[in-house]
Amino acid sequence: MKNIVIGLTGTIASGKNTVAKIFRKKGAFVIDADKVGHRVIMPQAKAWHEIIKAFGSKVLNRGGVVNRRKLAAKVFSTPDALKKLNRITHPEMRKIITSEIKLAKLSKIKYVVVNAALLEEMKLLSSVDRVIAVLSDKKNRIKRMLRTGLSRKEALARIKSQRSDKSYRKTADVVIDNNRTMDDLKKKVIKAISKL
């Protein structure tokens, strides 16, 4: 059986993780770029040293773990700082993700899903067979981020740091608009799977 590698992307707080969970329930193997991102900045990792060099030890908690909230406050307030962080972490993340794709391809799993908001920015488009973009209205996305404890200002900074919906639509084979109910989203995901 040939696997299909799906790049699951889209704007922040659009519902990608929920879509990834639906895929997982359908038997897909899901590679979560956020979790990979946490791995590459673990103490003493290559990216960890580079982050300290670029942003200073003030972004660390006691014990040397990167305080992601402090780091986010720095990088989402300045586009250049975000670019710098991406230059540090993306190559390391890409190595892990491409190696996990290769391993998953050896299995009999039909769908391998790479859940990554920055799929294109990480230069992973060539590693996937199909791209699904999950998009949602700005109002809904802000509401979801506020529920996670972010302030409105922080939520807006994160939205501003990303590409436009139009740009996501351009690279996607399938677009899922997530502005309604969970049932509606499930139906759309099942429809998307049938299109693949």
Distance (Å, whole) CA 17 – CA 8: 9
Q: How many beta carbons lie within 10 A of that of residue 99, not counting itself?
A: 11
Of the candidates 11, 10, 8, which has an alpha carbon nearest to the alpha carbon of residue 21? Answer: 8
pLDDT tens track for 26-39: 999 999 999 999 99
Burial of 70 from C-beta contacts in 10 A (0-12 / 13-18 / 19+): middle
Within 10 Å of residue 91's Cβ, how many Cβ atoms?
14
Percent of the chain having pLDDT more than 70?
A: 99
Sheet containing strand 174-177, edge to edge, reads 29-32, 111-115, 4-10, 130-135, 174-177
Angle formed by the axes of helices 79-105 and 46-55, nearest 10°? 170
Task: Quickly state the pLDDT bin for 106 (edges 50, 70, 90).
Answer: very high
- Sketch out the chain's domains with CATH numbers: 4-195 (3.40.50.300)
Whole-model pTM: value is: 0.94
Q: Is the pLDDT reported for residue 51 higher than 70?
A: yes
Q: Does the structure show a pLDDT above 90 at 1?
A: no
